[in-house]
Structure 1
Amino acid sequence: MTDDRLRRLAAYRAARRTLSGGQNATTVADGLRKLTDIAPEGVDLDQPVDFYGNGLVEELERRTAVALGTQDAAYFPTGTMAQQIALRCWAGRTGNTTVASHPLHHLEVHEGDAYAAVSGLRAVHPTTEPRLPTAAEVTAVRDPFGTLMLELPLREPGFVLPTWDELTATVAAARERDAVVHVDGARLWETTEHFRASLPEIAGLADSVYVSFYKSLGAVSGAALAGPTTLIEEAKAWRHRYGGQLFQQWPAVLTALHGLEHELPRLPEYTAHAKSVAAALSAAFTGAGVPWHRVHPAVPHTHQFQVWLPYPAEVLLEAGTRLAEEQRIALFRFWTEPGTPPGISYTEVTVAAEALKWSPADVTEAVEEFLTLVRKVSEA
């Protein structure tokens, strides 16, 4: 770990107030304390540890299927593995190795073309717009495809979601093409408030759903693939072939069970507060005379959204670190500078438990302090 990263870690851990949540400011000692403190309801901690997927793993699979309203679920060490196996299974069942997905989908951006290199699949893109595809766009795809893959929410353009009517129409258009629908629901847990629908209703639109346990629920790691029992049985066979049948997984599984029990019920509250935080951030940047800024979406669809500012990432990162060191306020975390246009950077804001303590006035005060440091760093 670099000296700069150690410095940021120390600053963020010492902060008395944190706006944007995340697990990147956690030490091994923090993780061990959390693990020893949790005891999910109905879980016998005196039972034997799991052994190649039994015991606690099976309990997590059962509870996940219940939460999503599916017949069955399979636990995976990574979401990448879960999704590759789901697509492989559906390609075999439909007889079509083409997947319709978005070019900004996790499948394309963060998985090293595994769908093609490992499973021999091919992707087509109904749209390149920074949103989910519409029904008309799905209908207009020229090539036959066996699976339509939808990331809900679509992270890269700002954790965006369609409306419920748009989503159901898109799913119906795929069905008319004789395609199955797989949902990349890494953050599906967060979507109920936007859709005004329950998790079983949302998951019920698809033939299979992948969910993450660490991206919304705060687990150490892990994911699940949920769907009909016959698909899940096949997926478990491929899980073993892909090297995902780990000897013991109880630490990650315990934290996932804890997340289902304690974090999942709070996500609607986080999502509601994210709207207040986003509005306060936008007003604060406007009031401070920042020449250009953007909070996107202006009204967040989930408890996560983007903030864009007209400064280099290294300047914003340094200013944020100094704010944590000098004022013990952790406002933003990491910044990314796409390069086009130059000098513009963005960060992802995650509103979780700590952010519930922030009022609009708190946000305004912190932004003013942050921008003062941004100017100092820029002038240095």
Structure 2
Amino acid sequence: MDDIEAVDQAAQSQDRAEPDGSGQDDPGAARERRLAALRAAERVLSRPAADRTLADNLGRLTRRAPEVYDLDRSSDIYGDAIVEELERRVASLLGKEAAAFFPTGTMAQQIAVRTWAGRTGNATVALHPLAHPEQHERDAFSVVSRVRTVHPTTEPRMPSAEEIREFEEPFGTLMLELPLREPGFVLPSWQELVDAVEAGRERDAVVHFDGARLWECTPHFGRPLDEIAALADSVYVSFYKSLDGLGGAVLAGPRSFVEETRTWRHRYGGQIFQQYPTALSALIGLEDELPRLPSYVAQARVVAQALREGFTKAGVPFFRVHPEVPHTHQFQVWLPYGTSVLDEATVRQAEETGTALFRRWFADGPPGLSVTEVTVAGPGLEWSAEDVRGAVEEFVRRL
């Protein structure tokens, strides 16, 4: 389940769409109705970019840009100026020697594992079978970057230290996705993470963090970003998944490693002439969204509890809010209905009440069972637990 409409899912389900980006499972008229209802909704838990007009997005960019960067400076050309400033800022936040900007996370991580494969002499990458490169990148690791993947575990969690230590094949890179999105944005405990990293090093592997959503992991671990990132040899972070940026990613790590990835970035077609709008939006995200993420995580826990209470009171025969206590500001909700029934209830609630509790549902299990991803961001801070319970009642009435 990847970017099924990456634009529509920008904040709530940011990359659930590659397999059917054509929208074939969501015919045009139904899609437009749904998007119109979500855009018009006055009360939402998050407001992804798709809910804003182009004028809204441009207005925000031009309004905030002078507050995060000197607009009298020269524009960027092939990754200098503002792009270098963004790289320095992220390297500092992550406590790494250097960082390089990439147009996409897919490109960044392909280059990361390829570079480490050359340095370790082992082109095998150990990662989870539900990790983003395995699920949503059309076999790019093997087809484009010529690396092989293996899976220390198939359990819906990060591999344990024991599984890493006892895995029967050698590998050059251990890649850990934090949080692991597909099973519900789940994270290990701090000690489990430390132990897993140590086990990887015992296998003479380098450790790479797929940290697309690393920004919101600090409340769960109780550690600052640089302390978390210090466990890994290299770290990838995204700017659009949590920070409301236009796109883009950064690879951070040792200076010599980062310089080598810049060479591969050029070879992969990532040496873009000008990227100042994306860089500006990333700087705005670091200023506006990054400090607020802990409050989003705290509110997500309130929302998750209220959802459970609401579905229980409504007498829904089966439901699951997972994790019960969200590890980040995103989590899953499972209900025993088909996607068409749940999507229709979602749209009708938005149209008739001005409240959009959910966004879109997916079939990801036995027939008749559907899942959605809930993201709690700025607009969600305005909801009380009673608001959530009331919205659940209205939603269930439309099933």
Normalised TM-score (structure 1) = 0.96
Query: What secondary structure does 1:323 align onto?
Result: helix
User: In terms of mean alpha carbon deviation, does 1-10 or 117-126 score higher?
Assistant: 1-10
Q: CA separation in 1, counterparts of 2:155 and 2:50?
A: 31
Q: Tell me the secondary structure at the aligned position of residue 137 of structure 1.
A: helix
The partner residue of 1:58 within 69, 84, 89 is 84
- Secondary structure of the 1:371 match is helix
AA paired with 2:394?
E
Q: Does 1:334 align with 2:381?
A: no
Per-residue Cα deviation, 1:166-197 (whole angstroms, up to 9, x for no partner): 00000000010110000000000010000000
Alpha-carbon distance in structure 2 between the residues aligned to 1:117 and 1:214: 26
Aligned residue number for residue 156 of structure 1 = 182
Task: Deviation per CA, 1:232-290: give whole Å up to 9, x if none.
Answer: 00000100110001111111111100001110000011001111100000110011000
Query: Map of 1:232-251 to 2, 5 A cutoff?
Result: 232-251=258-277
Within 2, Cα distance between the matches of 1:315 and 1:221? 33
**1-side partners of 2:66 and 2:98: how far apart?**
21
| 8 Å CA contact retained: 1:21, 1:349 | no
| Structure 1 residue aligned with 2:103 | 77
Partner of 1:208: 234
Deviation at 1:5, TM superposition (A): 2.1
SS at match of 1:150: strand
Worse overlay, 60-69 or 30-39: 30-39
Aligned residues, how many?
373
Gaps of 5+ in 2: 1-22
Structure 2 Cα separation of the partners of residues 355 and 178 of structure 1 = 44
Report matched runs for 1:95-114 at 5 Å. Answer: 95-114=121-140
Residue 21 of structure 1, CA deviation: 4.1
Q: In structure 2, what residue type is equivalent to 1:45?
A: L
Deviates more, 1:244-253 or 1:162-171: 244-253
Q: Which of the residues 346, 369, 375 maps onto 1:320?
A: 346
How many angstroms apart in 1 are the aligned matches of 2:50 and 2:216?
A: 20
Q: Hey, what does 2:299 align to over in structure 1?
A: 273
| Alignment partner, residue 375 of structure 2 | 350
Q: SS at 1:11's partner residue? A: helix
Q: Do residues 369 (structure 1) and 376 (structure 2) align?
A: no
* SS of aligned partner of 2:50: coil
Match of 1:377 in 2: none
Q: Residue 22 of structure 1 contacts residue 350 of structure 1 at CA under 8 Å; is this kept in 2?
A: no
Task: Read off the aligned partner of 1:256 and give its amino acid letter.
Answer: A
Structure 2 CA distance for aligned equivalents of residues 112 and 143 of structure 1: 24
Q: In the alignment, residue 189 of structure 1 is paired with which amino acid?
A: W
Q: From 210, 214, 217, give the equivalent of 1:188.
A: 214
Match of 1:134 in 2: 160
Read off the aligned partner of 1:66 and give its amino acid letter: S
2: CA distance between counterparts of 1:320 and 1:342?
20
Which whole-Å CA distance do the structure 1 matches of 2:48 and 2:309 have between them? Answer: 24
Gaps of 5+ in 1: 375-380
Shift of 1:26: 2.8
- Structure 1 match to 2:313: 287
Contact 1:91–1:146 under 8 Å retained in 2: yes
- Structure 2 counterpart of 1:310: 336
Alpha-carbon offset, residue 324 of structure 1: 0.9
SS of match in other structure, 2:58: helix
The separation in 2 between residues aligned to 1:49 and 1:6, in whole angstroms, is 37
Kindly report the root-mean-square deviation, in angstroms, between the aligned alpha carbons of the 2 structures: 1.1
Q: Deviations over 1:32-87 (max 9, x none)?
A: 22222212645111222211111111111011111111111100000000000000
Runs of 4+ in 1 over 3 A off after TM superposition: none
Shift of 1:20: 4.0
Counterpart AA for 2:161: A
Distance, in Å, in 1 between the alignment partners of 2:372 and 2:50 is 14
Amino acid at match of 1:96: N
Question: How far apart in 2 are the matches of 1:130 and 1:222?
Answer: 28
Q: Is the 8 A contact 1:308 1:344 kept in 2?
A: yes
Q: Percent identity?
A: 64
1:11 aligns with 2:55: no
Judge which range, 25-34 or 362-371, deviates more: 25-34
Give the equivalent residue in structure 2 for 1:146: 172
1:322 and 1:91 mapped to 2: Cα distance? 51
How far apart, in 2, do the equivalents of 1:343 and 1:105 lie?
Answer: 25
CA distance in 1, matches of 2:304, 2:60: 30
Q: In the aligned structure 2, how far is the partner of 1:128 from the partner of 1:160?
A: 14
- Residue 19 of structure 1 aligns to which amino acid in structure 2? L
- Matched residues in 2 for 1:52 and 1:295: separation? 45
